[in-house]
Amino acid sequence: MRVAAIARGTPLAPGRVRPVAVPSAVRRLSTLPHVDYADAFLIETGPAAQDRTPEQWGRVIFDDAPITIRRPLRSGWLALGLQLGSTRSERFVFGWEVRRSTPEFVLLAMHRPIVRYVLEQGSRR
């Protein structure tokens, strides 16, 4: 199981990314009874990006990525036996099901017969 959070609002140069401790608020959002692994990354987006919701950021990061990024991601997930959803449906972000979406976070999930993977993206205001 993998959980990740994307937060914004720290004093980094725009475009920089750094790993951070998984916020307890993100851990509380998990729908899983047990999480084996979790990581979080902080991305400085600048003031103009504050108008995007976490779901919109997920769409920009995954759906709008170059094909050279999207193709290996999709191939890797399929090789792991993950069951991806449609890339053309608003119910999915690059094959990940949108389980819950608020102005503060988006909960994305995909399934494998025995394992459930969840990607959580949140914002810090």
**Average pLDDT, integer, range 51-59:** 87
State pLDDT tens for residues 13-34.
456 788 888 888 878 877 778 8
41 pLDDT more than 90: no
11 pLDDT more than 60: no
Burial label, 81 (beta-carbon count in 10 A; 0-12, 13-18, 19+): exposed
pTM (2 d.p.)? 0.68
Locate the domains of the chain by residue range: 2-122
Alpha helices in 1-125 (DSSP H): 24-29, 54-58, 67-79
68 pLDDT band (50/70/90 cuts)? very high
Collapsing DSSP to helix, strand or coil, 58 comes out as helix
State pLDDT tens for residues 77-94.
888 888 888 888 899 999
Residue 98: partners with Cβ closer than 8 Å, 6 or more residues away = 55, 90, 91, 92, 106, 107, 108
Tell me the C-alpha distance between 1 and 108, whole Å: 12
